[in-house]
Structure 1
Amino acid sequence: MTGTVMLVVGDQQLVVQADLGVLRPDPEASWGGILRNVPTRLLIDLHVYDDIRLRLPDGQERFIRPLDGIHAEDTDFTPLYFAGEGTPPL
């Protein structure tokens, strides 16, 4: 799935672009992807909150966790790789 989703971090809600997919094909498939247009200033908050969520276009929400190695870029926006929790939203 590729498209616009809402990234919810604490009391902040931001519209970002997402590329979502299944990471390994098995009955309990892990899923995740990359978020684009994540404000670099938000990276600090990602380490503070444990309730980081994606709100999908159909209103469903899934918890996500940033993958190790978050590196801020020298720009206003940074891509964010993540793993999702629960049922893949595909």
Structure 2
Amino acid sequence: MTDAINPLYAKLLGETAAITWQELQPFFARGALLWVTPGMDLIEVATAVAEDNGSQVAHWLQNAAISKVEASLAEDLLARDPQLWAVVVAPWVLIQERAA
């Protein structure tokens, strides 16, 4: 039995960082932010996006597990300024709120 970690997953995990909404606003303005709902594995989602796993990404989009950041969410993030985590999978920046 092997519990090998996907090398891409490990790479993306190492590239994940805390970030503020202030730093993300230029990406929001370009429409390049994807919101990953709390409870989802941010790195699993990023891996699926990077591997162009269209059926899995489509499933998550359809079930609102991930979505483009809309103005209402942006306003909420600006007002609350929560702790966020982000990982870049060009052309996207995937973000997720982390529990305090």
- Greater percentage in helix: 2
Question: Which protein, 1 or 2, shows the higher relative CO under an 8 Å CA cutoff with sep ≥ 6?
Answer: 2
Q: TM-score, normalised by structure 2?
A: 0.25
- Greater percentage in strand: 1
